[in-house]
Amino acid sequence: MSTYFTEDHEWIKVDGDTGTVGISGYAAKALGDVVFVELPEVGAEFDKGDEAAVVESVKAASEVYSPVGGEVTAVNEALEEAPETVNASPDGDGWFLKIKIADADELSSLMDEAKYKTYCDGL
C-alpha cells in the first residue's frame, strides 16, 4: 500500500484501484480540535482537486480536496459521532472517504512521505 500527499495536506493510501483519503497530522494539528466533519455521499464523483469534504474545528472550517478523480465508494460515518477522531488518529481511524481511482496517473503529481515531510518543514 502506497501513501501520497497533496500540498493541501490530504493523504491518499492506495490499495489496488481504491484510495482511502484523510488529512495529515500536520493539518489536524494546525486545525486544532475538530468538532464537525461533513462527508460526501457514497456514489459522488469528483475530479482531482474538487472539494470532497469539510472539516470544522474550534479555530476554522477547511475544505478537504480529492487528491485524485473518481467515485466515492465509502465514507467514515463514525466521524459524524466522533469528529475528534481526526485529531486522535489523522492517518488511521480519522480517514474521511474511500474513492475508486479513475486515473492512476494522477498519483504521479502527488508527494511521497519523504517529499511531504520536506514540504512541511519548509512551511
Q: Identify the band that residue 3 occupies on the pLDDT scale cut at 50, 70 and 90.
A: very high
Give residue-wise pLDDT tens across range 50-108. Answer: 999 999 999 999 999 999 999 999 999 999 999 999 999 999 999 999 999 999 999 99
Q: Which amino acid would we find at residue 78?
A: A
* CATH number reported for the structural domain that contains residue 21 in this entry: 2.40.50.100
Give residue-wise pLDDT tens across range 5-27. Answer: 999 999 999 999 999 999 999 99
Q: Per the domain annotation, does 46 fall within a domain?
A: yes
- Count other C-beta atoms under 10 Å from residue 3's C-beta: 18
Helix (H), strand (E) counts: the chain: 4, 9
Number of domains in the chain: 1
Q: Which three cell numbers stand for residue 47?
A: 475530479
CA atoms within 13 A on the CB side of 68: 30
Q: Per the domain annotation, does 32 fall within a domain?
A: yes
Q: Per the domain annotation, does 77 fall within a domain?
A: yes
Q: Report the C-alpha gap between 28 and 24 in whole angstroms.
A: 6
> Which residue range is the domain that position 11 belongs to?
2-102
